[in-house]
Amino acid sequence: MSTSPRPYKNQETKNLESRNSFIKPRDMVLAKEIKGKRRERFIRWMTFFRRNPHKFIEDYFGIHLHPYQILMIWALQRSELAYFVAARGTAKTWIIAVWSLTLAVLYPGIKIVVCAKTLKQAGLIVSEKIDTLMKEHSNVDREILKFTSTENSYGVLFHNGSTLKVVASNDNSRGEITIASMCGNIH
């Protein structure tokens, strides 16, 4: 029985077998090459999902939402300031994590800042909730380029240039809260 060495596979050949569409080799299409009906369809879908983020969450991410969660997403979409008073176990932190992911994917280049009373408390959104969503839903994982969850730093960088940063709600974080922020005490 002779054993022949396995043929050499370069990184591109290895990536052909990957399930991750961001590292899989593909033909690039420039924005100026997208014309006509294809461009119109893209714009219609983007508009539809931006107006109906709960459908995006369910259809693209594959995350099941309960009716009260759809209502919370609707309220977050329609107002600049949303305030929810809810009992323990109503998935408030989870909704903020899902909503942050949705904003980051639907609005390329957006900077999202999540803050809570302490860095550790705000970091739960990234360290527990987003990490779990990445493991359970492949399209969530596919959208994330870099995931950071350490004792002193929490953040997510997306392929489309969006960022999610976690800070403590204190005087030192004032400069961080610039474009989009979700502040509050998460209990």
- Residue 95 domain flag: yes
Query: Is 23 inside a domain boundary?
Result: no
Give the separation between CA 142 and CA 125, rounded to whole angstroms: 18
Q: Would you say residue 9 lies in a domain?
A: no
Tokens of 48: 């539809």
pTM: 0.71
pLDDT tens digits for 51-103? 999 999 999 899 999 998 898 898 888 887 777 787 887 888 888 889 989 99
Give the pLDDT of residue 104.
Answer: 92
Strands across the sheet containing 144-149: 144-149, 154-158, 163-168, 111-116, 180-183
pLDDT digits (tens, 9 = 90+) for 17-28: 666 666 666 555
Domain span at 111: 30-183
- Asked if 131 and 184 touch (Cβ cutoff 8 Å), the reply is no
- C-beta atoms surrounding 72 within 10 Å: 23
Instruction: Give a yes or no: residue 87 inside a domain.
Output: yes
* Tally of structural domains, the chain: 1
Rounded Cα distance, 76 and 81, in Å: 8
Written as six digits, the tokens of 91 are: 């998935």
Average pLDDT over residues 159-181: 68
Give me the percent of the chain exceeding a pLDDT of 70. Answer: 72
**DSSP letter at 64?**
-
**Residue 1 confidence (pLDDT) above 60:** no
